[in-house]
Amino acid sequence: MNKVTIVGSINLDTNLRVQRMVKPGETIHGKEHYTAAGGKGANQAVAAARAECDTRFIGAVGNDAAGDQMLDLLKEENIDVSGVEMLQNEATGQAFITIDDNGENAIMFYAGANYAFGPKEVAQNAELIETSDFVIAQFETPLEATTEAFEIARQANVKTILNPAPGESNLPEELLKATDIIVPNETEAETITGIHVKDEASAKEAAKKFHELGVEVVIITFGAKGAFYDYNGHSELVPAFKEKAVDTTAAGDTFIGIMSSILEKDFSNLKDAILYSNKASSLTIQRFGAQPSIPFKNEIK
């Protein structure tokens, strides 16, 4: 069983189902409204925990009802939240998500407490990182906090997985040099490398750029097409499982959290781990909500 620490965001998601996406200046009726636990970091932690990882979390919530609720839900998933700060005078992060009948989503994100913790708070929880097999981070929290976590991990020979979402350009050199695995989608890969990623050939070109920046393993997710990887001189597109999507929220988070649960530290089973994660994501997209849609290990098998 892998030990995984996530440094990332915790949000309360407000979801609205609609027939189609609204146009500027237009008002339309919603079909359904509900709230659910979310945040890319928390989603990835829940995926790892449901895959039966020893899962820890470093992050922050506000001292409010939403913060209490999110912490309780993480605890119910058997996630160690000793590294989660409850901050005074900060609101718990929130996301506002619209989902149409094709399963596509549009997300607006308010960071709140997610942007109010940094390197100091990460350093205080160094032991969680140093005793892990993998550390995962995204970009819904400060880059400085992620860089601190990855540098601690590198010194302790702990493998790092970076999900560069939302996409950011001009990433700190020290962050990429401390990243073992990077997992962007096509758009995020283009934002970082400047290469328009549309197929395997362009994905290979982008992967070369990532390697030049110091990243050992590159995995570019292509949604319904699957996931492309480039590692140790070999590249391949691992096909997705074809299922009808009703809500793609948390599909990428599921992929990363599940992958961390079975990936060997020497990456010897990389392709099998990607295939397993593709299967998990295919289950996620058939359900509504972020964390409610993430499958358990017995479902994937």
> Is 62 labelled as part of a ligand binding site?
no
Q: Is 249 annotated as a binding residue?
A: yes
E strand map for 64-153: 80-87, 93-99, 105-110, 134-137
CA 69 to chain centre: 21
Is residue 206 annotated as involved in ligand binding?
A: no
Is 40 annotated among the ligand-binding residues? Answer: yes
CA atoms within 13 A on the CB side of 190: 8
In whole angstroms, give the CA distance from residue 291 to residue 253.
10
Token representation of residue 227: 């996931």
Q: Is 297 labelled as part of a ligand binding site? A: no
Contacts of residue 212, Cβ cutoff 8 Å, sequence gap at least 6: none
CA distance readout (Å), 285 to 104, 108, 249, 256: 10, 19, 7, 15
The annotation status of 12 as a binding-site residue, yes or no, is yes
Give the closest residue to 206 by CA, choosing from 221, 227, 190, 217. Answer: 190
Any binding-site annotation on 83? no
Q: Is 11 annotated as a binding residue?
A: yes
Residue 41 assigned to a binding site: yes
The verdict on whether residue 59 carries a ligand-binding annotation is: no
253 is catalytic: yes
Where do the DSSP E strands lie in 47-158?
Answer: 54-62, 80-87, 93-99, 105-110, 134-137
DSSP state string for 211-250: HHTT-SEEEEE-GGGEEEEEETTEEEEEEPP----S--TT
Catalytic one among 133, 180, 230, 253?
A: 253
Per the annotation, does 278 bind a ligand?
yes
Question: ∠ at Cα 140 (106, 287), nearest 5°?
Answer: 45
Is 222 annotated to bind a ligand? Reply is yes
Report whether 95 belongs to an annotated binding site. no
Distances (CA, A) of 201 to 18, 33, 131, 161, 222: 36, 41, 38, 23, 13
> Is 165 annotated as a binding-site member?
no
Would you list which residues are annotated within the binding site? 11-13, 39-43, 140, 185, 221-226, 247, 249, 252-253, 278, 284, 287, 289, 293
Would you list which residues are annotated within the binding site for K(+)? 247, 249, 284, 287, 289, 293
Would you list which residues are annotated within the binding site for ATP? 185, 221-226, 252-253, 278
Active-site residue list: 253
Would you list which residues are annotated within the binding site for substrate? 11-13, 39-43, 140, 253
